[in-house]
């Protein structure tokens, strides 16, 4: 490839809303055969909203919302923002400030609110603390996840107290983007830290067959490495701090311009408007750019 043709391709990319780190990126893009897509914020909008609240027998919904909301208010995660905003709106009161707070990446949050030791996050976070859900909450959690919702289990003082439903929306263009990736001969794979049922519901909606769910942030890069070990040339598309390592390991890292700075820095290519349809456009551009010069 001549430098001039690659520079022209880079300029054309900018017009399409693709920021390319360097001209050589287009050469790599041409070889890609597998595209790993992060779920939250990449395939979905990541603008989550609090849905139903389920409580354990004898627990008041207002307490679940206040204690979970207070802790989540201290986390920047999209799930956390939805819970904190929803809790403040529904209780109609200011959330108390936690006296102690820890973010557990990919799992949830833990800390102390009003003297209670509170956990909020994936059921695994509670299970790790040897807290089991009563049957009514376990059932609610399973039904919500089956409908594609993210669920936040809430416990305090060693007991499970509630389950909150959080919903996200698939981006309007995601299904079309996946179809275009397939048409280019690329194999789409969904990768997420979210629960399997929610991940599969999103995958079905956009037409992806292969799903890696419940993957902890530190293990996302390992999923990419394993695909590479199978001889695949892998592109990763992500938006979160949690995706940065996987974006760096991938042969081609694509970040959402709407995402975290760490993701944008780790990527080779940035989709400025956060529109997934620009991903197949980038691959097409790389193929066309290199065709015209051979
Ligand atoms: P993703 O891979 O979908 O971008 P993460 O790895 O950041 O998501 O988180 C994986 C899952 O962990 C989320 O879907 C959510 O269920 C749970 N989780 C992470 N952080 C929080 C939090 N602050 N509160 C509640 N749940 C959380
Ligand atoms: Mg994400």
- What residue segments make up the domains of the chain, in order of their start? 3-45+170-291, 49-167
Superfamily of domain 3-45+170-291: HAD superfamily/HAD-like (3.40.50.1000)
ipTM rounded to 2 decimals: 0.96
Higher pLDDT, 288 or 222: 222
Looking at residue 76, its pLDDT comes to 85
Domains 3-45+170-291 and 49-167 share a fold: no
Q: What pLDDT, in 10s, does the model give residues 159-200?
A: 999 999 999 999 999 999 999 999 999 999 999 999 999 999
Ligand minimally distant from the alpha carbon of residue 109: 1
Angle at 135 between CA 163 and CA 104, to 5 degrees: 40
Q: Is the pLDDT of residue 294 over 50?
A: no
Cβ of residue 119 lying under 6 Å from some atom of ligand 1: no
If 0-12 CB within 10 Å is exposed, 13-18 middle and 19+ buried, where does residue 172 land? exposed
Which residues, including other chains, have CB under 8 Å from residue 289's CB and lie 6 or more apart? 1, 5, 6, 8, 9, 12, 26
Closest C-alpha residue for ligand 1 atom 21: 108
Closest C-alpha residue for ligand 1 atom 10: 193
What value does the CA radius of gyration of the chain take, rounded to a whole number of Å?
Answer: 21
Q: How large is the average pLDDT for residues 220-243?
A: 96
Q: Is the pLDDT of residue 265 over 90?
A: yes
The DSSP code sequence of 170-222 is B-TTHHHHHHHHHHTT-EEEEE-SS-HHHHHHHHHHHT--EEE-S--GGGHHH
Tell me the CA end-to-end span of the chain in Å, nearest whole number: 7
* Torsion 144-81-192-113 (CA) sign: negative
Looking at residue 230, its pLDDT comes to 97
Q: How large is the average pLDDT for residues 147-163?
A: 96
pLDDT level of residue 81 (50, 70, 90 thresholds): very high
User: If one looks up domain 49-167 in CATH, what number appears?
Assistant: 3.40.1110.10
Looking at residue 290, its pLDDT comes to 62
Closest C-alpha residue for ligand 1 atom 13: 194
Q: Is the pLDDT of residue 5 over 90?
A: no
Q: Which atom of ligand 1 is nearest to the CA of 77?
A: 23
Q: Give distance in angstroms: CA of 133 to centre of ligand 2.
A: 27
pLDDT level of residue 53 (50, 70, 90 thresholds): very high
Looking at residue 41, its pLDDT comes to 92
Tokens of 260: 């975290």
Global pTM reads 0.89
Q: Give distance in angstroms: CA of 59 to centre of ligand 2.
A: 32
pLDDT level of residue 274 (50, 70, 90 thresholds): confident
Cβ of residue 257 lying under 6 Å from some atom of ligand 1: no
């Amino acid at each position: 490839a001549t430098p001039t043709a690659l520079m022209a391709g880079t300029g054309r990319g900018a017009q399409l809303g693709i920021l390319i780190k360097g001209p050589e990126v287009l050469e790599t893009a041409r070889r890609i055969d597998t595209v790993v897509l992060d779920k939250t914020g990449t395939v979905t909008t990541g603008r989550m909203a609090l849905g139903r609240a389920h409580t354990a027998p004898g627990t008041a919904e207002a307490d679940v919302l206040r204690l979970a909301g207070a802790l989540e208010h201290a986390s920047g995660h999209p799930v956390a923002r939805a819970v904190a905003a929803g809790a403040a709106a529904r209780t109609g009161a200011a959330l108390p400030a936690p006296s102690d707070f820890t973010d557990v990446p990919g799992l949830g949050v833990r800390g102390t609110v009003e003297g209670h030791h509170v956990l909020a996050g994936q059921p695994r976070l509670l299970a790790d603390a040897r807290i089991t859900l009563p049957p009514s909450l376990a059932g609610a959690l399973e039904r919500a996840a089956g409908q594609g919702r993210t669920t936040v289990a809430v416990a305090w003082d060693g007991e499970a107290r509630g389950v909150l439903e959080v919903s996200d929306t698939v981006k309007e263009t995601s299904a079309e983007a996946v179809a275009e990736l397939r048409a280019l001969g690329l194999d789409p794979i969904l990768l997420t830290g979210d629960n399997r049922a929610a991940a599969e519901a999103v995958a079905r909606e956009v037409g992806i067959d292969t799903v890696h769910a419940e993957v902890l942030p530190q293990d996302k890069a390992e999923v990419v490495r394993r695909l590479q070990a199978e001889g695949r040339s892998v592109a990763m598309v992500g938006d979160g701090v949690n995706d940065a390592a996987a974006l760096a390991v991938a042969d081609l890292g694509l970040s959402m311009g709407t995402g975290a700075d760490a993701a944008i820095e780790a990527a080779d290519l940035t989709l400025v408007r956060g529109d997934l349809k620009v991903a197949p456009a980038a691959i097409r551009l790389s193929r066309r750019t290199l065709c015209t010069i051979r």
